[in-house]
């Protein structure tokens, strides 16, 4: 989802010498394969958006995979970028890097000031390592490697897997299937009380392009909207967008995760970038994309 959004943005800006590989074509966990790719292609700029990602259940279930595979991807790409003289690299992390009970909204300086949320700790540790790796290569070798931390993302080409997807696409699928089957009720995991922030992937791509041009500092910078809402209110928005008319209930036996994850985006706003796609519009766009990928 993120990689395709960045690709569309670069095309829109007139770039045509774009190097891309699917995971089937290039396994970024494979050190030799990544080394061979960089040696052959010699990219000048790298957007490192590749990662093993998933929702709260996937993060908690595949703890070893999320830690090992993300560390392998980052280590290989960042190291080979240095070895092959990449002019600038952007590493994309996640808002889950911040402590579970950090003050809200989440400022960049809150990194490593407290314990992480248990369910996604392995993924968060991998992403923190990526941030520190970019800073270390900058400090030791003078590399212009930057780290950006997006909030929760959704949009075109999202993952709608019934168990392993994130909350917004999972709810789109659940409400759509309930609408088609005329189910009387949709049950949403958790209490509905946690607050979450959501950014459309094409807005993220626009921010990444902006920061690739204008941000050249160590440490990280947040990317988000600076606005959040409860999971209950999100579910109601999606229910209305999909057109499901049944009952909505919440299963409080399922985990809620972090109580709140709102990004402080004042650093980004001061540089001159703000999002343009509001949540209600974005959900409509995402639902249309979901429908376009359904079998006839």
The angle at the Cα of 16, spanning 12 to 22, to the nearest 5 degrees, equals 95
Is 123 annotated in the active site? yes
Bridge partners for 147 per DSSP: 91, 220
Catalytic residue among 7, 110, 123, 137: 123
The C-alpha atoms of residue 86 and residue 75 are separated, in whole angstroms, by 15
DSSP labels, 10-44: HHHTT--------TTT--TT-HHHHHHHHHHH--S
Query: Side-chain half-sphere of 253: how many Cα atoms within 13 Å?
Result: 1
Q: Is there a binding annotation on residue 226?
A: no
Q: Is there a binding annotation on residue 115?
A: no
What SS3 state is found at 73? helix
What SS3 state is found at 221? strand
The C-alpha atoms of residue 54 and residue 257 are separated, in whole angstroms, by 13
CA 209 to chain centre: 16
Q: Is there a binding annotation on residue 173?
A: no
Q: Is there a binding annotation on residue 93?
A: yes
Q: Is there a binding annotation on residue 153?
A: yes
181: Cβ contacts below 8 Å, ≥ 6 apart: none
Bridge partners for 229 per DSSP: 196
Q: Is there a binding annotation on residue 94?
A: yes
Q: Is there a binding annotation on residue 249?
A: no
Q: Is there a binding annotation on residue 203?
A: no
Q: Is there a binding annotation on residue 116?
A: no
Q: Is there a binding annotation on residue 214?
A: no
Q: Is there a binding annotation on residue 241?
A: no
Q: Is there a binding annotation on residue 218?
A: no
- Which of the residues are catalytic? 123
Annotated binding site for NADP(+): 92-95, 127, 150-153, 166
Annotated binding site for substrate: 174, 189, 196, 256
Annotated binding site: 92-95, 127, 150-153, 166, 174, 189, 196, 256
């Amino acid at each position: 989802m993120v990689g395709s959004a960045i690709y569309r943005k670069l095309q829109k800006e007139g770039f045509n010498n774009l190097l891309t590989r699917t995971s089937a074509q290039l396994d970024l966990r494979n050190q030799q394969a990544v080394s061979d790719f960089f040696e052959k292609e010699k990219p000048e700029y790298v957007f490192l958006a590749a990662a093993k990602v998933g929702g709260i259940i996937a993060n908690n279930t595949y703890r070893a995979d999320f830690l090992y595979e993300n560390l392998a991807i980052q280590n290989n790409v960042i190291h080979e970028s240095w070895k092959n003289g990449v002019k600038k690299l952007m590493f994309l992390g996640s808002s889950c890097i911040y402590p579970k009970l950090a003050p809200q909204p989440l400022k960049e300086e809150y990194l490593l000031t407290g314990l992480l949320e248990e369910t996604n700790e392995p993924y968060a540790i991998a992403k923190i390592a990526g941030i520190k790796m970019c800073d270390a290569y900058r400090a030791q070798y003078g590399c212009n490697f930057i780290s950006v931390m997006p909030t929760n993302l959704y949009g075109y080409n999202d993952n709608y897997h019934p168990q392993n997807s994130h909350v917004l696409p999972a709810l789109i699928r659940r409400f759509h299937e309930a609408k088609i089957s005329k189910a009387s009720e949709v049950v949403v995991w958790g209490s509905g009380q946690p607050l979450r922030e959501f950014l459309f992937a094409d807005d993220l791509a626009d921010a990444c392009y902006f920061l690739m041009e204008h941000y050249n500092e160590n440490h990280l910078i947040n990317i988000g909207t600076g606005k959040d809402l409860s999971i209950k209110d999100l579910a109601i928005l999606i229910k209305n967008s999909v057109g499901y008319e049944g009952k909505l209930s919440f299963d409080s036996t399922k985990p809620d995760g972090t109580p709140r994850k709102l990004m402080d985006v004042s650093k980004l706003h001061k540089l001159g970038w703000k999002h343009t796609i509001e949540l209600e519009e974005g959900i409509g766009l995402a639902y249309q994309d979901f429908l376009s990928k359904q079998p006839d």
